[in-house]
A = this chain, B = another copy of it.
């Protein structure tokens, strides 16, 4: 009974991603993932040599999806401040969807997995570090464009500011996961981010829409 190519494999990745994101790596068993997809464990190990390899593959899937989304959001054709506004909107939407589907605020999947496994499996730590580095470089390019447009002082330390933005966003996402409450992210995230960047939201938001 050969199915459509890779159908089982993709369903395993999708389900694993949801279960691990919602709960945690060690809290989700291979049996549980297989049961959710209605597949026997032998099939699982036909596609993946180990549970750890599955985790890496789910991260790979997340990464490529994220790249498409962020390439769009941070397109140079968009005003730089609008990019930050859009990335917050995207995060809110993503978190609300995950909450609706999985019943819990999920936060940043890379951070959750990374925090749990970085000390056990260096490969995971390295992978997550690369992803974080890429995100920071999106922020850096937008900050450079803000300087070019005289919307923030040209004395701004772009690299430092990008680190601040990244840590702030990921910190808020994880806090929301723990509180199981999207309140701050929905209501204050955009204002806080603009404050952090050093522009007032009201001044510019009208130009953007």
A94, CB-defined interface residue at 8 Å: no
Q: Is the CB of A192 within 8 A of B164?
A: yes
A177, CB-defined interface residue at 8 Å: yes
A174, CB-defined interface residue at 8 Å: yes
Q: Is the CB of B167 within 8 A of A27?
A: no
Asked, given contacts A22-B119, A160-B195, A164-B192, whether A125 binds B171 with beta carbons under 8 Å apart, the answer is no
A137, CB-defined interface residue at 8 Å: no
Interface digits, A175-209 against B, CB 8 Å rule (1 contact, 0 not)? 10111100010001001100110000000000000
Residues in A32-80 with C-beta less than 8 Å from chain B: none
- A161 CB contacts on chain B under 8 angstroms: 195
Question: What number of A residues sit within 8 Å (CB to CB) of B?
Answer: 47
A90, CB-defined interface residue at 8 Å: no
Give the docked Cα–Cα distance between A60 and B169 (Å).
28
Residues of A within 8 A of B (CB): 22-27, 104, 106-107, 111-112, 114-120, 122, 125, 128-129, 132, 157, 160-161, 163-164, 166-172, 174-175, 177-180, 184, 188, 191-192, 195-196
Closest 6 A/B residue pairs (Cβ): A167-B171, A171-B171, A26-B26, A114-B178, A170-B171, A167-B172
Can you give 6 contacting A-B residue pairs, CB < 8 Å?
A125-B179, A164-B168, A166-B175, A167-B169, A168-B171, A170-B174
